[in-house]
Structure 1
Amino acid sequence: MDHDRPAPRHQSSPRNLTTLLERVRHAGRHDTDVSLEAILDAVGRRSFAPFLLIAGLITLAPLVGDIPGVPTLMASLVVLTAAQLLLGRRHLWLPRCLLRRRVSRRRFVRLIIWLETPAGWIDRLLRARLVRLARPPAHLPVALVCLLIGLAMPPMELVPFTANGAGLALTLFGLALLAEDGLLILMAYALTIGTLALVVVGLL
């Protein structure tokens, strides 16, 4: 795979989970293993919400997120995504050491199938509401909270179930930004506070 090729320019940001999964399913379809670069190219790099959503889903998924080191890898993606969102970048940049990380296609397809089952149900719950909480400049506090989650994810591997809480919070933030759903933003804030509190208690 040519890591220097430009990302596709024709794709707009997916507006719901079903569309995101449809694009991700075709990532690197001709490769034995699926790289992070192929996944990101499949969803396009002009919107940051899909990257938060992908990181959250992978961390949350029992087929992948429980693998040692995966939460830390996703933490790197979240920190870089949130930092660039705060800096006002219009396209996401990631270092090659992350882009080259791969997962077996068999495990990848199992993850997509696992996610497709609830995707339609989740999409029916999404709607534009309290949109001021999900539109600029409200995306800046979201980015700050996601940055905090990313920095806290490595020690979460030492506290059972907290990484799953972080994954769910990132998933909610990603879905909320895609659908401009401010209610999900509020839920994600509350979940983040609870998860970080558990991490602090668990490490003491």
Structure 2
Amino acid sequence: MTSAKQPVEHVLKETSILARRNRGGITVRRFAEELGQSSLPAVLAVPAMAVVTPLSGVPLFSSACGALICLISAQMLMGRQHLWIPGWLGRRRIKADTVRKGAAALRGSVRWLDRHSGKRLPVLTRQPFLMVIQAVCLICGALMPLLEIVPFSSSVLGGIVSLLAVAMLTRDGLIALLTLSALFAAAAAFAAGLV
């Protein structure tokens, strides 16, 4: 099983390895630097998937993940290849136990994603469509701190960003198309309900 065949599970394994090597915890900067060697979508997938786990119920966890998603998405939109993290966020430590629990909770979902993703409609994961995917990730990340008062509501946004990160990581335009179609249909239905 190569990382090329199972790119999402590879990200999860790398995350678990980082947690094992840094039992006392790891800073956000080091974590991002280690994962960022593969790609920015891989770094984006981690906080997005973390928000889908029960950890999203921890106060301010969703806000921190949302800020990280915003930061990564904005830099992707700017065309950066290497992630810049501000000092205040980079110095924050993540407990190794928290990382391990999150990775364990996601293992089944990640295997399912790897089995059901592939290079389909890859043109939808390239520019100019790629900018739309990255902009949606940015907006979802920005909304997460606002939804902090409603427990687990950020999990829906985390799920959207996770799927879009997987689409970018695997070059699967079909996943991106289905995710964005569902999101825009839900937004249209919500807007119609307000009118």
Using the size of structure 1 for normalisation, the TM-score is 0.81
Q: Give the distance between the partners of 2:136 and 2:109, measured in 1 at CA.
A: 26
Deviates more, 1:151-160 or 1:141-150: 151-160
User: 2:89 aligned with 1:84, yes or no?
Assistant: no
C-alpha distance 198-94 of structure 1, shift in aligned 2 (>3 A): farther
Q: Give the AA of the match of 2:178.
A: M
Deviates more, 1:41-50 or 1:91-100: 41-50
For residue 163 of structure 1, what is the aligned residue in structure 2? Answer: 154
**What is the aligned length?**
189
Structure in which a larger fraction of residues adopt helix? 2
User: 2:101 aligned with 1:110, yes or no?
Assistant: yes
For residue 30 of structure 1, what is the aligned residue in structure 2? Answer: 22
Using the size of structure 2 for normalisation, the TM-score is 0.84
CA offset at residue 188 of structure 1?
A: 2.3
Query: Is the CA contact 2:52–2:159 (under 8 Å) kept in the aligned structure 1?
Result: yes
For residue 56 of structure 2, what is the aligned residue in structure 1? Answer: 65
Q: Give the distance between the partners of 2:173 and 2:82, measured in 1 at CA.
A: 24
CA offset at residue 190 of structure 1?
A: 3.5
CA offset at residue 196 of structure 1?
A: 5.8
Q: Give the distance between the partners of 1:195 and 1:58, measured in 2 at CA.
A: 23
CA offset at residue 15 of structure 1?
A: 6.1
Deviates more, 1:67-76 or 1:99-108: 99-108
Q: Give the distance between the partners of 1:18 and 1:48, measured in 2 at CA.
A: 16
Query: Is the CA contact 2:77–2:131 (under 8 Å) kept in the aligned structure 1?
Result: yes
C-alpha distance 193-89 of structure 1, shift in aligned 2 (>3 A): same
Q: Give the AA of the match of 2:10.
A: T
Q: Give the distance between the partners of 1:199 and 1:158, measured in 2 at CA.
A: 20
Query: Is the CA contact 1:81–1:92 (under 8 Å) kept in the aligned structure 2?
Result: yes
For residue 189 of structure 1, what is the aligned residue in structure 2? Answer: 180
Q: Give the AA of the match of 1:170.
A: V
